[in-house]
Amino acid sequence: MNIEWGNLPFGYFKTDYNIRCFYKNGQWGELEVSSSEYIPMHMAATALHYGQEAFEGMKAFKGKDGRIRLFRWDENWKRLNKSAEGIMMPEVPKDIFEKAVKEVIRLNEKFVPPYGTGASLYLRPLLIGTGAQVGVKPASEYCLIIFVTPVGPYFKAGFKPVKVQLVRDFDRAAPLGTGSIKVGGNYAASLRASERAHAEGYSTVLFLDAKEKKYIDEAGPANFFGIKDNTYITPESVSILPSITNMSLKVIAEDLGLKVECRRVPVEELNTFEEAGACGTAAVISPIGEIFDRSNNTSFVISKDGNPGPISTKMYERLLAIQYGDYEDKHGWVDFI
């Protein structure tokens, strides 16, 4: 196996095994190990027709000591079950999820990138309705599958400020819809705006709330945060996915002596932030240098010198240090494999 760990993209790379578990007759079965990259599925499966599909994203890291660390898997389990509840799929028992996640890492241990390469092992738990239905109703059978892939940085530029496009002519999710759960439909709804932004030279998009178009909502596939007056500010909204990275950064911000506010953030406030960023499992933190409002051709310049802000840098370095074992895990976020 010859992998250029330092040049890995954030993409799919074939590994040896995945773990599966099937729900039938009202109960979950035993874990199954598979080397197949494919899922045999009935053509009338509800995942294909009615969107009964939820997923998670999580990472494992190899430390300087050679030990593999898994970051906050229990929060991913909670969020997956919240998604399952939201689209009427059965919850995954905690013991099944934990055993599957840890076993799939052990089986693919040689794909965990070495310490110091800037890469990590990405885990993708996927829960889908596999039972056949033609009428619009939940399936009776489901499949949980967890696969892994080694990944590099989500954004090619790495930890450098990016340009973001604010859009008003697309919505990602409605206030009483599925925006707060991690289901594929939310991402499908963001594709047209995101691909247009990429074509126009922007790294990602910033959506506004669908109801009033006055407040910051989701930053593409990540949560938004802004920093000013020694305060970490992140939007409060019923249509934002609760990011585990954002959850962790709030704690780290307090550890660093910042105040934390989770509240509605009006568009006009963008011009007052000293720093801003998008945060999530994939990108960790992507500092935002400029926000371009496509509807009125105006820009909010956040990074005046083209560099990440000092507080964003400290938070980013602290979170990575905890994940790789270079800083004390005083909050109990890390499990060893």
What residues are labeled active site? Answer: 182
Instruction: Specify the 3-state DSSP secondary structure of 176.
Output: coil
Q: List Cα–Cα distances, 307 to 158, 162, 223, in angstroms.
A: 12, 10, 20
Instruction: Specify the 3-state DSSP secondary structure of 94.
Output: helix
Q: How far apart are CA 245 and CA 236, in angstroms?
A: 15
DSSP for residue 268: G
Task: Show the DSSP H helices in the chain as ranges.
Answer: 46-49, 73-86, 94-107, 184-199, 244-255, 310-324
CA angle 244, 248, 251 (to 5 degrees): 150
Q: How far apart are CA 116 and CA 30, in angstroms?
A: 37
Is 158:16 a contact under the CB 8 Å cutoff? no
3-state helix, strand, coil in the chain (%, to 5): 25, 30, 45
What angle, rounded to 10 degrees, do the helices at 244-255 and 73-86 form? 140
Residue 27 corresponds to which tokens in the numbers above? Answer: 């109960």
Instruction: Specify the 3-state DSSP secondary structure of 163.
Output: strand
